[in-house]
Amino acid sequence: MSDYMTMALNELAAEITADGVVDAEEVKKMKERLYADNVIDREEADFLFTINDAVSGANNDPSWKELFVEALTTHVLKDETSPDVLDDGEASYLVEKIQGDKKVDANELALLVNIAASAKSTPENFQKFVLASLKDVILEDGVIDENEVAMIRKVVYGIGSGSGASVDRAEADFIFDLNDATTGKANHSSWKELFVEALSKHVLEDETSPGVIDESEGDWLISRVESDNEYDENEKALFVNIKTNAKSMTGKLKFKMDLFQI
C-alpha cells in the first residue's frame, strides 16, 4: 500500500478496493490512519461507506466488519455536539448512506443494531428504519436463526430503541410480523423464548396498566394473534405465560383463553 497516512482518502479508497476485497493488512492500515487523531470525521465516515459499498458481499477479512461498525458508531456517538445520542442530522446521514445502493448489507445491519443497542436515544424515524431493515434481512430466507434472534434482542431492548429496555407497540408489532411470516419454519429455539418474553413485557410491564391486561391490550393481542387465522405454538405459549403472570385480565381475551382452554 502507498503512503496511507497522507494520501487523499478517495485515492486510498480506490487503492484498497482495486482488487474487490479488503484484507487484514488493509484494515490494520485504515485503522491506524482513521484513529491517528482519535476522531472519525464526516470525510472519514464517507470513506468507510465508499469502501463498504465497493466490496459488499466479497470475502473480506472479518476485521473489516469490526472496523466499519466501530468507526461509524464512534463517528455518530462520540462527537462533541451530541455525545452518546444519535441526533436527527446523524440519523438522516446514516439512512441516506445506507440506502444509497438500494440495499442493507450485513455490515450496515450490524451498524444499525449496534447503534440501537448503544445510543442513549435515537430519532423515531431511525428506529423505524432499523426495524424495517432488520425485518427485511431476516425474511429473505424466511427462517429466524440464533444470530438473528440476538440482533432482535439488541434492537428491541437496546437503550437507543423506542422504549429502551421496555417494549413499545412498534417493536411488539415487529415481533408479531416476524412470527406470522415464519410460523412452522425451522426457527432457532431462542426465537420462541424471545417472542413470549418480549410480548409479555409489552402488555404486563407498561406504565398504563402494569401487571394487568386491560381491554385495549387484550383486543390488540387477539387482533394480532388471529390476523393469520391461526393460533401457533408461540402464540399459545404467550397466552399461557400471560395467564400465569397477569394479576387480572378483562374483556375478550379472557373469553378466548377460556374458549381454547388456555
Backbone angles phi, psi at 34, to 5 degrees: -65, -35
pLDDT in tens, 130-155: 999 999 999 999 999 999 999 999 99
**Average of per-residue pLDDT values in the chain:** 93
| Beta carbons of 109 and 151 less than 8 angstroms apart | yes
Q: In this predicted structure, what is the pLDDT of residue 258? A: 82
The three three-digit cell numbers of residue 194, written as one number: 424471545
Q: How far apart are CA 218 and CA 259, in angstroms?
A: 15
Q: Cβ contacts of residue 113 below 8 Å, gap of 6+?
A: 130, 134, 151, 154, 155, 158
Closest CA to 126 of 135, 115, 141, 137: 115
* pLDDT tens for each residue of 63-115: 999 999 999 999 999 999 999 999 999 999 999 999 988 899 999 999 999 99
Query: What pLDDT, on the 0 to 100 scale, is given for residue 200?
Result: 97
Torsions phi, psi of 212, nearest 5?
-125, 135
Residue 257: pLDDT over 70: yes
Please give the full DSSP string across 100-118, using - where no structure is assigned: TTT---HHHHHHHHHHHHH
Cell numbers standing for residue 88: 436527527
Neighbours of 11 (CB within 10 A): 11
Beta strands per DSSP E along 159-235: 212-213
Q: How far is CA 65 from the centre of its chain?
A: 16
Statement: residue 262 has pLDDT above 80: no
Residue 1 pLDDT greater than 90, yes or no: no
Q: How far is CA 93 from the centre of its chain?
A: 17
Say which residue the cell 412470527 belongs to.
179
Which of 5-9, 54-58, 180-184, 255-259 has the weakest average pLDDT?
255-259
Reported as a single tens digit per residue, the pLDDT across 149-202 is 999 999 999 875 555 568 999 999 999 999 999 999 999 999 999 999 999 999
Beta-carbon contacts of residue 204 (< 8 Å; ≥ 6 apart): 210, 211, 212, 213, 242, 245, 246
Q: What mean pLDDT comes out for the span 24-39?
A: 96
In this predicted model, what pLDDT tens digit does every residue of 219-251 receive, in sequence order? 999 999 999 888 899 999 999 999 999 999 877
- pLDDT at residue 163, rounded to an integer: 54
State residue 261's pLDDT score: 78
Question: For the chain, how many helices (H) and strands (E)?
Answer: 13, 2
pLDDT of residue 162: 53
